[in-house]
Structure 1
Amino acid sequence: MKHKLINFISPLLFLATLISCNDKGESQQSELGSSDETIFPKGELGPATNFTGNAYNFGLVSNDTVYNTLVGNVYFEKGARSNWHVHPSGQILIVLDGEGYHQLEGQPKQTMKKGDVIKCPPKIKHWHGATEKNNLTQMYILPKTQNGIVTWLEVVTDEQYLSN
């Protein structure tokens, strides 16, 4: 019985070692935030016309006529943020790692942390991004895309970003 158990466990331990180590035998460190694991690839760098700093998008669910929903992951480096923008049907943000800010027009800036779920109402101007000292990884959900996806607006100024 011991021999069969060893034959079963040994390959599992070997596989676990391969998964947790890189080619130098060192533990991998996350580029995406404060945790040691990443959920999704970093993605493509967002255009400077829509973001201040480096923000990377990785699409998870493509828009189609069945679900009419877009889902993706955005990784914001420290200090990176979106421009002000509007979604015709709103947007849901789920913070996966790090710490960031979001703000609805006319309201104070709010801090968001891992585990927070933020609802940006339809047709309300808003922005979101990482804090000055922390990266941010967030998932976004855009429902009812048949109504449109996003209208990008002006840059979030440093004064707006740094305000309390």
Structure 2
Amino acid sequence: MSLIIHRNGDRPSRMAPAEYFTGTVLMTPIVQAPEPASLRALSVTFAPGARTNWHTHPLGQTLHVTSGQGLIALRDGAPEVIRAGDTVYIPPEVEHWHGAGPETAMTHIAMQEEPEAETTWLDPVSDADYAKS
């Protein structure tokens, strides 16, 4: 077996699917490990006010904020501020959302294991839930 090297710029960024995100969100692949590994990682950049829908991951998710300031919330909870350098772990099957702050962009690396089941996408985050304090 040999190394797999993905060169900078080899894998283009793409707009995140509008059915699962609110606002302008760019996704850049980092890795989708070959089997038997199941690690998947993306760099995700959210414009101010942009966010994911509510969603869950079968084996949990880790976010590492690389720039800016954003928000993350669990269902029925108030959003918490996350900043560059912060790392957040969301346990398996916990409903959550994450995205930029209302006036600040935010980029994070999203990492999760996705062996067979992938992200379960739920309803959009309402403006009321986004602004909840």
Category of TM-score, reference length = shorter chain: 0.7 to 0.9
Partner Cα separation in structure 1 for residue 123 and residue 12 of structure 2: 25
TM-score normalized with structure 1 length? 0.72
Uncovered stretches (5+) of structure 1, i.e. residues with no partner: 1-38
Please list, as runs of the form range in 1=range in 2, the aligned pairs for 1:135-154 lying within 5 A after superposition. Answer: 135-143=105-113, 145-154=114-123
> Which structure shows the higher strand fraction?
2
On the 8 A contact 2:78/2:129 being kept in 1, the answer is no
Identity of aligned pairs, percent? 31
Bigger-Rg structure (1/2) = 1
Residue number in structure 2 paired with 1:134: 104
Query: Residues of 2 paired with 1:55 and 1:136: CA distance?
Result: 10
Measured in 2, the distance between the counterparts of 1:72 and 1:50 equals 15
Whether 2:14 is the aligned partner of 1:44: answer yes
Instruction: Determine which structure has the larger helix proportion and give its number.
Output: 1
**What is aligned with 1:73?**
43
Aligned length: 125
Q: Which of the numbers 70, 74, 99 marks the counterpart of 2:69?
A: 99
Shift of 1:149: 1.8
Which residue of 1 is the match for residue 124 of structure 2?
Answer: 155
Match of 1:8 in 2: none
- Point out where structure 2 has 5 or more consecutive residues left out of the alignment: 1-7
> Does 86-95 or 39-48 show the bigger shift?
39-48
Higher relative contact order at CA 8 Å, sep ≥6: structure 1 or structure 2? 2
| 1:64 aligns with one of 28, 31, 34 | 34
Q: In the TM superposition, what whole-angstrom CA distance separates every residue of 1:65-118 from its partner, at most 9, and x where no partner exists?
A: 132110110000010000000100000000000000001123321100000000
Task: Report the CA distance between 1:62 and its aligned residue.
Answer: 1.3
Give the 3-state SS of the residue equivalent to 2:115 in structure 1.
Answer: helix
* 1:34 alignment partner in structure 2: none
| Structure 1 position 42, deviation (Å) | 7.7
Change (3 A) 1:96 1:149: same
Secondary structure of the structure 1 residue equivalent to 2:81: strand
Q: Which runs of 4+ in 1 moved over 3 A?
A: 39-42
- CA distance in 2 between partners of 1:118 and 1:85 (Å): 15
